[in-house]
């Protein structure tokens, strides 16, 4: 047999297989390019802020949603917020207010303001809502990042991560490059490289050689002096975490709190971002 056609055929097969491989590889990579996570926390029964954040996330073409807990407590629409997140069927972890609202009575000391709100919240949730809050996990892995409400070193103790030392304790238990958390209602990130330092999120570039413990802020009751709802977008394709602040119908939320008979201070603190 002539060697030339054989060589020609082999060459064509090789080229076809190479083409197939590149199509296959891009198909494998494609889902990542399509993934854009909206990561939100501490909704605290603030329906107007929740709806505004979700509308912004959809406008920004987020494909996946993740909730870091405290769906209820403080504000006047606990049932509605539970329904929204439950229907989204997205990864969720438990917050301290979710825990307390799902119990028959409080098992640990909240301050007077939070306690008044949690008692009111219990009366305004259905049994089904409470069951959904009860079954939430304390922490979990989503794709290649971790989520937790408070800390990784003792997620069920509800400690607060405000400084580098607090963050260092969580980093000890962090096995993924990125972990998102909430609970303090103060957005910001801790980065572990040589040591631990605090950085602003804004547009945070993720480097594989470091570790990141990122607070996405609070949707329903921000406490960093900015009243606008906070959440983060994780752009998987660009390896960037972006902080978002969203205006919402604050007056309606405040009116509902007062009409519900919840402490007036809960309405007043919202506009101060405290
Ligand atoms: Zn909270």
Task: Encode pLDDT of 243-269 as tens digits.
Answer: 999 999 999 999 999 999 999 999 999
Q: Which CATH superfamily is domain 34-272 in?
A: Metallo-dependent phosphatases (3.60.21.10)
Task: Encode pLDDT of 33-86 as tens digits.
Answer: 679 999 999 999 999 999 999 999 999 999 999 999 999 999 999 999 999 999
73 C-alpha to ligand 1 centroid (Å): 8
42 C-alpha to ligand 1 centroid (Å): 5
Task: Encode pLDDT of 173-210 as tens digits.
Answer: 999 999 999 999 999 999 999 999 999 999 999 999 99
59 C-alpha to ligand 1 centroid (Å): 26
95 C-alpha to ligand 1 centroid (Å): 7
User: What residues does each domain of the chain span?
Assistant: 34-272
- Mean per-residue pLDDT for 123-134? 98
200 C-alpha to ligand 1 centroid (Å): 20
114 C-alpha to ligand 1 centroid (Å): 10
For residue 13, give both structure tokens.
């097969």
110 C-alpha to ligand 1 centroid (Å): 12
238 C-alpha to ligand 1 centroid (Å): 29
Task: Encode pLDDT of 22-31 as tens digits.
Answer: 545 554 555 5
In three-state form (DSSP H/G/I as H, E/B as E, the rest C), the secondary structure along 211-228 is EEEEECCCCCCCCCCCCC
Q: How far is CA 120 from CA 44, 76, 241, 250, 259, in A?
A: 13, 9, 36, 21, 13
Q: How far is CA 13 from CA 30, 77, 224, in A?
A: 25, 63, 62
pTM: 0.88
Specify the 3-state DSSP secondary structure of 160.
Answer: coil
182 C-alpha to ligand 1 centroid (Å): 7
Instruction: Of 38, 32, 33, give the one whose Cα is nearest residue 233.
Output: 38
44 C-alpha to ligand 1 centroid (Å): 7
């Amino acid at each position: 047999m002539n060697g030339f056609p054989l060589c020609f055929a082999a060459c064509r097969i090789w080229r076809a297989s190479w083409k197939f491989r590149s199509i296959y590889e891009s198909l494998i990579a494609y889902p990542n390019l399509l993934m854009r996570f909206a990561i939100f926390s501490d909704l605290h029964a603030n329906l107007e802020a929740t709806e505004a954040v979700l509308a912004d996330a959809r406008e920004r073409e987020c494909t996946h949603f993740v909730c870091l807990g405290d769906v209820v407590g403080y504000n006047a629409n606990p049932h509605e917020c539970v329904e929204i997140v439950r229907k989204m069927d997205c990864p969720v972890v438990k917050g301290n207010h979710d825990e307390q609202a799902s119990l028959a009575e409080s098992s640990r000391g909240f301050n007077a303001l939070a306690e008044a709100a949690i008692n009111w919240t219990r009366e305004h949730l259905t049994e089904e809502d409470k069951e959904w809050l009860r079954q939430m996990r304390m922490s979990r892995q989503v794709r290649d990042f971790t989520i937790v409400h408070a800390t990784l070193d003792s997620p069920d103790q509800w400690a607060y991560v405000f400084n580098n030392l607090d963050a260092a304790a969580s980093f000890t238990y962090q096995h993924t490059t990125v972990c998102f958390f909430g609970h303090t209602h103060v957005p910001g990130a801790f980065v572990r490289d040589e040591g631990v330092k605090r950085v602003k999120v804004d547009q945070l570039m993720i480097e594989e050689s470091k570790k990141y413990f990122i607070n996405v802020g609070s949707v329903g009751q921000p406490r960093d002096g900015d009243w606008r709802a906070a959440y983060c977008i994780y752009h998987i394709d660009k390896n960037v975490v972006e902080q978002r602040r969203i205006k919402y119908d604050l007056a309606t939320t405040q009116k509902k709190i007062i009409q519900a008979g919840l402490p007036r201070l809960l309405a007043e603190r919202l506009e101060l971002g405290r």
